[in-house]
Amino acid sequence: MLQQRLGHRFDDQRLFEQALAHRSHVAESTGASSNERLEFLGDAVLGFVVTEHLFATRPSLPEGDLARIRAAVVSTDALARVAGALGVGEALLLGRGEASSGGRRKASLLADALEALIGAVFLDGGIDAARRLVIELLLDAIDAEAAQRVLGDPKNRLQELVAQRGAPPPSYVVDGRGPDHERHFRAEVRAASVVGRGEGRSKKRAEQLAAVDALAALEQLADEAEEGRARTP
């Protein structure tokens, strides 16, 4: 059931149904409303939640990188992949023509419906419910894009930076948990004087995110050292 996969049970079922109603369905129905207004609202909520999350969790990234990560995560293709995995296409309410022409697989329709569902969750449960939904659905995509924004591969970059400081190579420890179809990995890397941690659905992803975390910590230490030198008479 789609509501179960979303992790939100609607108090107002009309909002859930409207979020799935494409205008082609409305044209063939009496008294129905399309999901376009909810899509408009959901787009704004989605952008806010992703921006808020990036600002809070990526303090070392400049504004330009934050904007590029957000754009990639909320793109039509990215949202369509998430919606497809949730089974949104099967639940869409489409007109006969749109359904027969493959509308349930169209990226634009899937992305629009996912945004409408986010808007509907916001109206039904408030910003906290919408925030939980967005982060649950997009956290892996956010982390992956953030890892790619570090110059070069983050593991290689970390190794180079540590070598420049004359410290031993980074040391990774990875722990995998869960059944094969829902495997989750946690990685920890010790590099120079810092420890970085990351989580992901693959060993590689977890190690990359641990490296990103360690790079951010080393950058912060460098900034603090620079500030200390500047204060020294």
Tens-place pLDDT, residues 22-65:
988 888 877 778 999 999 999 999 999 999 999 998 887 778 78
Q: Check residue 103 and give its pLDDT.
A: 82
Domain extent listing, the chain: 2-149, 154-231
Q: Check residue 124 and give its pLDDT.
A: 96
Query: How far is the C-alpha of 208 from the C-alpha of 203, rounded, in Å?
Result: 9
At residue 149, does pLDDT exceed 70?
no
Q: Summarize pLDDT for 173-213 with one digit per residue, the tens.
A: 999 888 776 788 999 999 988 999 988 878 888 898 898 88
* Same fold? 2-149, 154-231: no
For 106, how many CA atoms within 13 A lie in the half-sphere containing its CB?
A: 13
CATH number of 2-149: 1.10.1520.10
pTM score over 0.85 = no
Query: How far is the C-alpha of 150 from the C-alpha of 143, rounded, in Å?
Result: 11
Active-site residue list:
43, 115
**Burial per residue of 172-194, b for 16 or more beta-carbon CB atoms within 10 angstroms, e otherwise:** bebeeeeeeeeeebbbbbbbbeb
DSSP state of 26: H
pLDDT-derived band of residue 19, with 50, 70 and 90 as boundaries? Answer: very high
Q: Look up the CATH architecture of domain 154-231.
A: 2-Layer Sandwich (3.30)
